[in-house]
Amino acid sequence: MTELTEASTSSGYQLKMRIWRGDADGGSLGDYTVEVSEGEVVLDALHRVQATQAGDLAIRWNCKAGKCGSCSAEINGKPRLLCMTRLSDFDPAETITVTPMRSFPVIRDLVTDVSYNYEKARELPGVELGPRDADGKRRMMQVDVERGQEFRKCIECFLCQNTCHVVRDHEDNKPAFAGPRFFLRYAELDMHPLDTRDRRETVRDQAGIGLCNITKCCTEVCPEGIKITDNAIIPMKERVADKKYDPLVWLGNKIGLRNKDNDGRTAT
Amino acid sequence: MSDSSTRHPMTGNEMSAAAEGGIERHQYDVIVIGAGGSGLRAAIAAHDSGAKVAVVCKSLLGKAHTVMAEGGAAAAMGNLYPEDNWQVHFRDTMRGGKMLNNWRMAQLHAQEAPERVMELEDWGALFDRTADGLISQRDFGGHRYARLAHIGDRTGLEMIRTLQQRLVALGIDVYMECTVTDLLKAPTDSGADRIAGAFGYWRETGRFIVFETPAVVLATGGFGKAWKVTSNSWEYTGDGHALALRAGATLINMECVQFHPTGMVWPPSVKGLLVTESVRGDGGVLKNSEGERFMFNHIPEYFRAETADTIEEADRWYEDKKNNRRPPELLPRDEVARAINAEVKAGRGTPHGGVYLDIASRRTPEFIKKRLPSMYHQFKELADVDITKEPMEIGPTCHYAMGGVEVDPETEMSVVPGLYSVGECSGGMHGSNRLGGNSLSDLIVFGKRAGDAAAAYAASNGIPSVSEDDVEQAKRSALAPFELEGGENPYAIQSDLQQTMQDLVGIIREGAELEEAISRIETFKQRIAQMTVEGHRQYNPGWHLAIDLRNMLLVSEAVAKAALARQESRGGHTRNDFPGPDPEWGRKNLVVSLDAEGTGVDLREQALPEMPDDLKKFFEE
């Protein structure tokens, strides 16, 4: 605990914050000064503003432990979780500016309308496993579930969706683009050892994986450290390309010999 | 106002919320309040039974408190120990609850948990595997065999995501960020009012919404937010408990509150945040400031025969469970929390008032990162502690409500026709103390049962009509905090209530302190009647808190009064002035109901249901 002993000698200070206040009709940054103490995170400071200066300051949050992904916002312009951003990462003299996620419509203050993500979730064909083994159990090897497990660490904070420039800079792409969070989900299902569906056409035609040009912005902001681009999107793009451009697959489909792929999956 | 002519001809819905004073109305067979594991499972079951069902929740879908569950779901699948079966799990659960459990709930839970866990796998959950490719199972406190199906230390996230994805695939309606503030009832021929609907508001707009439904499933979780140091989120304000009381239902086990032995104690920002029991299940040990593994000094008589009394035996147990007894670090949570409390009181605590939880000196960094990735991350990010190199500082934190709505074990229906309750907001299953891992399995076992039963009830009981007077009353009550000017800020009242519960109704209780708590609760009632919120109805957290605070206060009164009445110590209820268990008290529940004025609670004693002889034999030794 040596680091802590050192830290405990520092005391509280007055933090200057600029917080975006407003709603769908517009808003502006408001200035606040609030007492903070060591070990605190940005969400603590916002809560203190809420409890003592602005009772109606809207913040979406739940677990305050980086596990639920509710408190996504932009801190000094960087997309982050409010509960996992420590004040000790900033100089005490620095003013911390907190704004709502930019890619989603504002509801009020720091709360945005993230329904885009829930709509995209509905468009995705869910898991479909074959029957259980004769003894009523299923068997999968740890090594085979681990790739999917990495993707299932996703806490749905939607920071990747917020950051992805395909929608951040081009609102009109939203209908045709599911975003990194759902490419992750497609990859997870595609790599599920027992799933029987083929979603490669869906991920290309409906989810728009082709629009992604792998700039890795999503990976950089993922609070769970999931390698979204390298481990999910790039393998998915490769699988989609294999299917589309393999001449034997093309011929088989054309003459009606194949309605399943090499892994026995049926197209959705 | 309702006008049947403006309703949609097929759905019966009325969407007039945009109009001034308008209320949005919907009709369903079943409404589930809460979108954690039990609520989602109940909704899926009701849907599968043919009901038109909707989930109504205070947060976004997928954010409920279930995501915080770490260790696993207890189910006697026998994947690692074929000798494990429901009988052993049943026995562990009853003994963990110090026999105050509803035996039938504990039995159903132990019998049905394995199939419910397998269902999650059918729906896409990716559990950790055994060497044979089966679902892996992990050791936890109070469980004789390694029994918890898990995914690293983020099992709750996996459960909620799996159920959420299933719910979406089935096309079940979800009303997110929508808070229910009142249940509505309708008279019946038999005299007892039955459920007729639910009244609430959209958090986003502040507009009101009415659900007309014969069946409501309460799945709102617990009420830990009434304490200062807690692992619970803002949502845990006892909404379901209070809604049930106000609707005429009864609560049991309210005096039994689980303080999890291992919450973070430093830095203050994260005080109370959960440190999973898996750390101990996977080999971590507790040490005091003198470096002593103190749990060996705190083995209670009740568990002496099954607990290792030397370090050597305890350490051998991890590899050879047949010939060794369990380490005392894996005693049930109430025992470990009391022991930690005692060590700190005796002056053997850490600089920040906890004790040490050490896995760094016991397991390799690779093992720790693989088995406890969230804990590694949590301590690294929030406390600058590398748990693969140094011990954690931990102490007890308010974690779980054993108390909840008194329900029929088979259907989860309360005494109010059409009102069901599941998961943490129901009572009976865990008795006076819940074993780790029994919560996630509780959610899916009783979630399914309640969903099935509510759908069947709805099929044979049509949608009753809602009284417009009741709707008007609910509106007035929700808007009351806007009516006053210059009153008190709800944040200040909440903070004082939390301090009172922490100081006077905490882990160790005493008659005089409980009396003091009850008298302070009376003054809080006066203060909340004079509460003011600023701003308007759109996404206004001050208003939301003002509404939730009323629930928190009613539930706090129930806990304090039941804790004062139960003059013994048992499980999650410890009285300094009555230090031991009393066999008389061990045979009865305290039943809480709303008092005649509707402003507080009354208590009565009620005999526990008698266990049949063929189950009693598991406890004869």
From edge to edge, which strands make up the β-sheet containing B148-149? B73-74, B148-149, B137-138
Q: Is A69 on the interface with B (CB under 8 A)?
A: yes
540-579 of B, contacting A, C-beta below 8 A: 540-543
- Pair of tokens at residue A37: 């103490």
Three-state secondary structure readout of A85-128 = CEHHHCCCCCCEEEECCCCCCEEECCEECCHHHHHHHHCCCCCC
- Considering CB atoms only, which of A3, A7, A141 is closest to B129? A141
Residue B355: strand, helix, or coil = strand
CA of B73: how far to CAs of B77, B143, B280, B441, B546, in Å? 11, 12, 16, 5, 35
Do B483 and B387 lie in a common domain?
no
**Which chain B residues contact residue A21 at CB under 8 A?**
none
pLDDT, residue B57, reads 96
Q: How far is B139 from chain A (nearest CA, A)?
A: 19
Q: Is A192 on the interface with B (CB under 8 A)?
A: yes
- B537 annotated active-site: no
Residues 6+ positions from B211 with CB-CB distance below 8 Å? B25, B26, B27, B28, B31, B54, B56, B197, B198, B199, B200
Across the strands, what pairs with A99?
A74
**Catalytic pick among B47, B260, B338, B550:** B260
- Say yes or no for a CB contact (<8 Å) between B543 and A37: no
**Which chain B residues contact residue A70 at CB under 8 A?**
59-60, 63
| Interface mutation vs chain A, best among B117, B539, B543, most A CBs within 10 Å | B539
B283 in any annotated domain: yes
33-92 of B, contacting A, C-beta below 8 A: 59-65, 67-68, 79
Q: Is A267 on the interface with B (CB under 8 A)?
A: no
Could you tell me the maximum CA-CA distance found in chain B, to the nearest angstrom?
Answer: 77
> Could you report the per-residue pLDDT of A227-251, keeping only the tens digit for each?
999 999 999 999 998 776 666 666 6
Average pLDDT over residues B444-462: 97
Q: Domains along chain A?
A: 9-112 (3.10.20.30), 115-267 (1.10.1060.10)
Average pLDDT over residues A23-29: 95
Q: What are φ and ψ of residue B573, in 5° steps?
A: -140, 105
CA of B87: how far to CAs of B94, B95, B102, B108, B430, in Å? 11, 12, 15, 11, 16
- Asked whether the predicted pLDDT for residue B16 surpasses 50, the reply is no
B102 in any annotated domain: no
pLDDT, residue B192, reads 85
Do B384 and B513 lie in a common domain?
no
Do B391 and B520 lie in a common domain?
no
B527 in any annotated domain: yes
Last residue of a domain, one of B384, B399, B414: B399
**Which chain A residues contact residue B117 at CB under 8 A?**
none
**Which chain B residues contact residue A145 at CB under 8 A?**
126-129
Average pLDDT over residues A131-136: 96
> Could you report the per-residue pLDDT of B214-234, keeping only the tens digit for each?
999 999 999 999 999 999 999
Residue B65: strand, helix, or coil = helix
pLDDT, residue A3, reads 37
pLDDT, residue B5, reads 38
Do B361 and B494 lie in a common domain?
no
Last residue of a domain, one of B350, B371, B399: B399
Q: How far apart are CA B570 and CA B583, in angstroms?
A: 10
B106 in any annotated domain: no
pLDDT, residue B368, reads 96
- Say yes or no for a CB contact (<8 Å) between A4 and B351: yes
B228 in any annotated domain: no
**Which chain A residues contact residue B134 at CB under 8 A?**
137-139
Do B382 and B497 lie in a common domain?
no
**Which chain A residues contact residue B152 at CB under 8 A?**
149
**Which chain B residues contact residue A155 at CB under 8 A?**
67, 157
- Say yes or no for a CB contact (<8 Å) between A141 and B65: no
- Say yes or no for a CB contact (<8 Å) between B393 and A1: yes
Q: How far apart are CA B561 and CA A215, in angstroms?
A: 60
Do B494 and B378 lie in a common domain?
no
Q: What percent of chain B has pLDDT over 90?
A: 89
Q: Is B486 on the interface with A (CB under 8 A)?
A: no
- Considering CB atoms only, which of B62, B233, B351 is closest to A64? B233
106-135 of A, contacting B, C-beta below 8 A: 107-109, 111, 113-114, 118, 121-122, 126-127, 129, 132
Q: How far apart are CA B124 and CA B134, in angstroms?
A: 15
- Pair of tokens at residue B361: 């000196």
- Say yes or no for a CB contact (<8 Å) between B383 and A39: yes
Task: Provide the angle, in degrees to the nearest 10, between the axes of the packed helices A234-245 and A180-190.
Answer: 60
CA of A125: how far to CAs of A121, A207, A239, A244, B356, in Å? 9, 11, 17, 20, 47
**Which chain A residues contact residue B168 at CB under 8 A?**
121-122, 126
B556 in any annotated domain: yes
> Could you report the per-residue pLDDT of B306-362, keeping only the tens digit for each?
999 999 999 999 989 889 999 999 999 999 999 999 999 999 999 999 999 999 999
> Could you report the per-residue pLDDT of A77-86, keeping only the tens digit for each?
999 999 999 9
The answer to whether B432 and B98 are in contact (CB under 8 A) is yes
The answer to whether B193 and B10 are in contact (CB under 8 A) is no
- Interface ipTM above 0.95: no
Across the strands, what pairs with B138?
B148
Peptide bond into B609 cis (omega under 30): no
- Say yes or no for a CB contact (<8 Å) between A109 and B534: no
The answer to whether B457 and B414 are in contact (CB under 8 A) is no
Do B390 and B495 lie in a common domain?
no
- Say yes or no for a CB contact (<8 Å) between B152 and A129: no
Last residue of a domain, one of B360, B378, B399: B399
Q: How far is A253 from chain B (nearest CA, A)?
A: 28
Q: Is B152 on the interface with A (CB under 8 A)?
A: yes
- Considering CB atoms only, which of B128, B161, B268 is closest to A39? B268
CA of B58: how far to CAs of A120, B358, B477, in Å? 21, 37, 18
Three-state secondary structure readout of B562-618 = HHHHCCCCECCECECCECCCCCCHHHEEEEEEECCCCCCEEEEEEECCCCCHHHHHH
Helix locations, B282-351, DSSP H = 311-317, 333-345
pLDDT, residue A264, reads 54
B489 in any annotated domain: yes
- Say yes or no for a CB contact (<8 Å) between B234 and A62: yes
From edge to edge, which strands make up the β-sheet containing B23-27? B14-15, B23-27, B208-212, B194-202, B178-186
| Interface mutation vs chain B, best among A71, A137, A161, most B CBs within 10 Å | A137
Provide the mean pLDDT of chain B: 94
Give me the total of CB pairs closer than 8 Å, taking one residue from chain A and one from chain B: 187
- Pair of tokens at residue B163: 């159920």
> Which of B290-299 are b and which e, b meaning 16 or more Cβ less than 10 Å from the residue's Cβ?
eeebbbbebb
- Considering CB atoms only, which of B129, B158, B381 is closest to A140? B129
**Catalytic pick among B109, B241, B280, B325:** B280
| Interface mutation vs chain A, best among B112, B126, B274, most A CBs within 10 Å | B126
- Considering CB atoms only, which of A37, A55, A145 is closest to B129? A145
> Could you report the per-residue pLDDT of B75-111, keeping only the tens digit for each?
999 999 999 999 999 999 999 999 999 999 999 999 9
The answer to whether B394 and B382 are in contact (CB under 8 A) is no
Do B390 and B287 lie in a common domain?
yes
Domain of B356 in residue numbering reads as 258-399
Provide the 10 A C-beta neighbour count for residue B456: 16
pLDDT band at B485 (very low <50, low <70, confident <90, very high): confident
> Could you report the per-residue pLDDT of B538-595, keeping only the tens digit for each?
889 999 999 999 999 999 999 999 999 999 999 999 999 999 999 999 999 999 999 9
Q: CATH number of the domain that B266 lies in?
A: 3.90.700.10
Using CA coordinates, name the residue in chain A closest to B167. A122
- Asked whether the predicted pLDDT for residue B3 surpasses 60, the reply is no
200-259 of A, contacting B, C-beta below 8 A: none
> Which of B378-382, B514-518, B611-615 has the lowest average pLDDT?
B378-382
Q: Would strands B355-358 and B208-212 be described as parallel, antiparallel, or unpaired? A: unpaired
**Which chain A residues contact residue B176 at CB under 8 A?**
118
Q: What are φ and ψ of residue B342, in 5° steps?
A: -65, -40
- Say yes or no for a CB contact (<8 Å) between A3 and B385: yes
> Could you report the per-residue pLDDT of A209-231, keeping only the tens digit for each?
999 999 999 999 999 999 999 99
pLDDT, residue B21, reads 57
Q: How far apart are CA B60 and CA A71, in angstroms?
A: 11
Closest CA to A85 of B269, B232, B519: B269
- B89 annotated active-site: no
Task: Provide the angle, in degrees to the nearest 10, between the axes of the packed helices B37-48 and B438-460.
Answer: 40
- Say yes or no for a CB contact (<8 Å) between B382 and A114: no
Using CA coordinates, name the residue in chain A closest to B541. A56
Q: Is A39 on the interface with B (CB under 8 A)?
A: yes
Per-residue DSSP letter, B54: E
Q: How far apart are CA B287 and CA B394, in angstroms?
A: 10
Total tally of structural domains belonging to chain B: 2
Q: How far is A28 from chain B (nearest CA, A)?
A: 17
pLDDT, residue B135, reads 98
- Considering CB atoms only, which of A5, A66, A126 is closest to B165? A126
Q: Would strands B601-607 and B588-594 be described as parallel, antiparallel, or unpaired? A: antiparallel
Q: CATH number of the domain that B487 lies in?
A: 1.20.58.100
- Asked whether the predicted pLDDT for residue A173 surpasses 80, the reply is yes
Q: Is B168 on the interface with A (CB under 8 A)?
A: yes
- Say yes or no for a CB contact (<8 Å) between A152 and B158: yes
Q: Is A84 on the interface with B (CB under 8 A)?
A: yes
- Say yes or no for a CB contact (<8 Å) between B134 and A137: yes
- Asked whether the predicted pLDDT for residue B191 surpasses 90, the reply is no
B131 in any annotated domain: no
pLDDT band at B484 (very low <50, low <70, confident <90, very high): confident
